[in-house]
Amino acid sequence: MAQDSQESQASTGAAPREGGTAGSHPGAIAQGLIRAGKVEAQHVLASAPTDRGLCHFRALGCQTTHSNQEVLQSCSLIIFATKPHVLPAVLAEVAPVVTAKHILVSLAAGVSLSVLEELLPTNAQVLRVSPSLPCVVQEGAIVMARGRHAGSSETKLLQNLLEACGQCEEVPEAYIDIHTGLSGSGVAFVCTFSEALAEGAIKMGMPSGLAHRIAAQTLLGTGKMLLQQGQHPAQLRTDVCTPGGTTIYGLHALEQGGLRAATMSAVEAATCRAKELGRK
> Angle CA(29)–CA(224)–CA(161) in degrees, nearest 5?
25
From residue 213, give the alpha-carbon distance in Å to each of 186, 191, 258, 280: 20, 12, 26, 41
What single-letter amino acid sits at 123?
Answer: N
pLDDT in tens, the chain (280 residues): 333 333 333 333 322 234 444 446 777 788 888 888 888 999 999 998 888 888 889 999 999 999 999 999 999 999 998 888 889 999 999 999 999 899 999 998 888 999 999 999 988 999 999 999 898 888 999 999 999 999 999 999 999 999 989 999 999 999 999 999 999 999 999 999 999 999 999 999 999 999 999 999 999 999 999 999 998 999 999 999 999 999 999 999 999 999 999 999 999 999 999 888 777 6
Q: What is the 3-state secondary structure of the chain?
A: CCCCCCCCCCCCECCCCEEEECCHHHHHHHHHHHHCCCCCHHHEEEECCCHHHHHHHHHHCCEEECCHHHHHHHCCEEEECCCCCCHHHHHHHHHHHCCCCCEEEECCCCCCHHHHHHHCCCCCEEEEEECCHHHHHCCEEEEEEECCCCCHHHHHHHHHHHHHHEEEEECCCHHHHHHHHHHHCHHHHHHHHHHHHHHHHHHCCCCHHHHHHHHHHHHHHHHHHHHHHCCCHHHHHHHHCCCCCHHHHHHHHHHHCCHHHHHHHHHHHHHHHHHHHHHC
Hey, CA dihedral for 90, 130, 188, 262, is it positive or negative? positive
Which residues carry a binding-site annotation for NADP(+)? Answer: 81-84
Assess contact for 25 and 106: CB atoms under 8 A: no
Binding residues: 68, 81-84
Whole-number Å distance between alpha carbons of 177 and 193:
22
Q: How many CB atoms lie within 10 A of CB 190?
A: 16
| The model's pTM | 0.82
CB 275 within 8 A of CB 174: no
What is the C-alpha separation between 245 and 236, in angstroms, rounded? 15
Q: Provide the pLDDT for residue 64.
A: 92
Residue 205: the pLDDT is 98
Tell me which amino acid residue 131 is.
P
pLDDT value at position 117?
Answer: 94
Model pLDDT, residue 23 = 45
pLDDT of residue 70: 93
Domains and CATH numbers, the chain: 18-172 (3.40.50.720), 186-279 (1.10.3730.10)
Q: Which residues pair with 26 in a beta bridge?
A: none
Binding-site positions for NADPH read 68
